[in-house]
Structure 1
Amino acid sequence: MSSITAQQFVQQGQVTLQSMQQTLREVDQSANRHHQQLQSLETSFEQALDELTAVNLPDLSRETIAQIRPRTGYGQFTVRDPLQKMAEERVTLAGRIQQIETDSLYGNRDELIHPVTGSYTSQFSDLQQQVQAITEGIERFSRTPFFNELYALNYDTPNYPYRWWSSLRFYNDWKHGDEASAALGFDNFQATREEYSRLLESRKELQGFLATAQAQVKRVQDLVSSHDQAVYRLKNLEAVTLQECRQSLKEHLKFVDRDQLFAWSGGDPSREALIKRVGGIEKKVEYLQQLADQQFGQERNQLQASITKLNKKVAKFSRPKYQNFRIAREESDLWLQDPSGRIRDRRERFWRDYDVIYVYDRYDIYDYSRDMLWWDLMTDGRIDGNFIPEVQVFRSENPDYRFTRIADSGFSMTNSGFDPS
């Protein structure tokens, strides 16, 4: 029986491990590709949903609003009439604008907060400069060697913890205190400390004044901002209200049952086409995520298990005691098996299946009046989807179900990725 040395096995094992690690990195690359394509579909879904929303709510006319509930099931506009709300808000906005314009702070806004000549802004700027100047002085003390430590120790005060007769630390601090004082231009550390404390107290007081000045400026700025926002909203109230109503309707349409929504559409071709597109893209996202979860999960699990197992073998036979050990070829071949080739083959088939669903765009031929799975329509019934919960449940509840091909499905064997034999 042929065999190899432990050293040969370790060398071959390291090569196999590198191969499997590369295949594992490819899983992440595949996952990134999937996420990018999923983001593209999610963008398409939002666009289709926006179009469906706009078709149902093109304007805020009384006739349009009256059709929202019977066509979409959304009843909020019945509870809170947008036209009445808009009329009430118009009065509120006009009142708010008038209230602000009669406020003396708003009336004198240029004199108060003009960037160059405003009294409030000038006061605020002056105080900022004073605080900055004092801060620079404080930082000069802080940058001086040993000053911060001596100040924190209360050196040269009754609270200083060391005494000349009991601690060498006293003499070191004395020396450092003299050096720090001289560097800062003072005769002794007591004078140095007093000046530093004075600067801290002055900055604290000025910061209080600065906060008050900032609040004065902000109060006027807030009035100006509130006025501008109210004026803009009043001027564009109908367009803004329409957009807000569309957003609330869109949230409803995003989650409402598609079959019910189609039934409410009343046979309107525009609505029906958009409902099918929204539903189809939604299913695409769902199916592709489930496909990816299954594929990439299996790949990672298999590779990580194989890597862990081989790593243990390589570590074992790398030990000195196995230097002259030989391993039967049958065993070593089993341990060195690399699943990368099989995984890549399965991944290639996976991407063919994936792309069949990703590129599908014949949403218009879906029939809500029939028992039909989007999965079968998108794959022309050629891909087994029993690993997908929706497909599995549907087929278990409908054991006699058979997918009937639709002649105008737009499906061809060139885009299916499948060998019909």
Structure 2
Amino acid sequence: MIDTTVFQDKTAVYYTLGCKLNFSETSTIGKILREAGVRTARKGEKADICVVNTCSVTEMADKKCRQAIHRLVKQHPGAFVVVTGCYAQLKPGDVAKIDGVDVVLGAEQKGELLQYLGNLQKHEKGEAITTATKDIRSFSPSCSRGDRTRFFLKVQDGCDYFCSYCTIPFARGRSRNGTIASMVEQARQAAAEGGKEIVLTGVNIGDFGKTTGETFFDLVQALDQIEGIERYRISSIEPNLLTDEIIEFVSHSRSFMPHFHIPLQSGCDEVLKLMRRRYDAALFASKVKKIKEVMPDAFIGVDVIVGTRGETAEFFEQAYRFISGLDVTQLHVFSYSERPGTQALKIDYVVSPEEKHQRSQRLLALSDEKTQAFYARHIGQTMSVLLEKSKGSTPMHGFTKNYIRVEVESDNSLDNQVVNVRLGDFNEDKTALKGTILI
């Protein structure tokens, strides 16, 4: 039994790096601490507890984690510092040696953070508590709002794919999930708290069901029936797991939005083989074609990695031509970063940093072109938009069903409300369309 009296009237700050899943998990950690009597520190206030949830997807991510820890230790002298997340799981000893760190928690311990805080007395040296990746079994549920209008529902964790460039299976363990019944209950609770939109998050969410004998399609059908939730978005799903039945279901479902995020990583089959991806370019193109056949206005976001080992200039040009011909909306471009222990390090051909940058810039320019063309096709249309509270004097913004960002005149009484908006021209920096609310 944990004695929570030690936490009464204590304050905490939270710092998250990385993906939406990390932000969801940090929010859940915050909820656990609040229920134990800990409140979030106000701006400028010295905190008693610092929680850092780390990322390790690139070498730069590792560096940012170390910088964040140093900064928080300096800003909150004497605070009890807890570090968790992917970097903590992969390099617990290194993190524990950072001045000011008290406890480093791995993936298995993250959900039970409260029991590792003790009486909040500072440690002489950091203590690392982790479980070997092969032994990670627990699934820590998370459905959190954070500071935004939408909720993030964690439906799955871990990955069994072991792509040659990726450390995530080592950081988060094997694929696992909660039950559909538990997901439905969490979504109902989000609706009871006023939530209108839920984003389904995870590491490899299409793999849902490995530990419960269910399927992602079963989950989607069950969630679609929950009253009060008007919108669901699928955060990211592998192309080989995005089945035609899922696409067809989304096209006529009550609440799943015409919005897909599909990792491609490369449009060149030779590079996909080097990456140990489980599809080829033709399969990816067929998924995009299927989506557009049944949902012509669907937003399709695509992840692409440039400069991976083995990506020759010829292979990149092949990938660029393939991506140029895809009817997709936006590219999320990442420069390849070498990660210790990955199979990609055995590939001989290395791309220079300068060439990686050049390739990234070309793809980012292509992305802007595709996104602006997609937005422009919708100018003059009336669409429903879920609005989010504005900060200060800035315009309110929100998103259409197919994820077009819209700016309207600020009226915070419309926060978390779905309203009809006539879409006008681009805003100044072309990141949104200006809209007029129709009463």
* TM-score, structure 1 as length reference: 0.19
Could you say which structure has the larger radius of gyration?
A: 1
Greater share of residues in helix: 1
* TM-score, structure 2 as length reference: 0.18
Greater share of residues in strand: 2
